[in-house]
A and B are shown apart, each in its own frame.
Chain A
Amino acid sequence: QKEVEQNSGPLSVPEGAIASLNCTYSDRGSQSFFWYRQYSGKSPELIMFIYSNGDKEDGRFTAQLNKASQYVSLLIRDSQPSDSATYLCAVNIYGNKLVFGAGTILRVKS
Chain B
Amino acid sequence: GAVVSQHPSWVICKSGTSVKIECRSLDFQATTMFWYRQFPKQSLMLMATSNEGSKATYEQGVEKDKFLINHASLTLSTLTVTSAHPEDSSFYICSARDNNRGTEAFFGQGTRLTVV
Residues on A facing B (Cβ under 8 Å):
31-32, 34, 36, 42-46, 49, 51, 88, 90, 92, 96-103
Number of chain B residues whose Cβ lies closer than 8 Å to a Cβ of chain A: 21
Residues on B facing A (Cβ under 8 Å):
6, 32, 34, 36, 42-44, 46, 49, 93, 95, 97, 102-110
Binding site secondary structure of chain A: strand
In the complex, which residue of chain A has the Cβ closest to the Cβ of B46? A99
A-B contact pairs, 6 of them (CB 8 A): A43-B93, A43-B108, A44-B44, A46-B107, A49-B102, A98-B95
Q: Which residues of B contact A97 (CB under 8 A)?
A: 34, 46, 49
Q: A42-B110, A43-B93 are in contact. Are A100 and B103 (CB under 8 A)?
A: no
Q: Are B108 and A49 in contact (CB under 8 A)?
A: no
Q: How far is the CB of B24 from chain A (nearest CB, A)?
A: 14
Q: A43-B93, A43-B109 are in contact. Are A100 and B104 (CB under 8 A)?
A: no
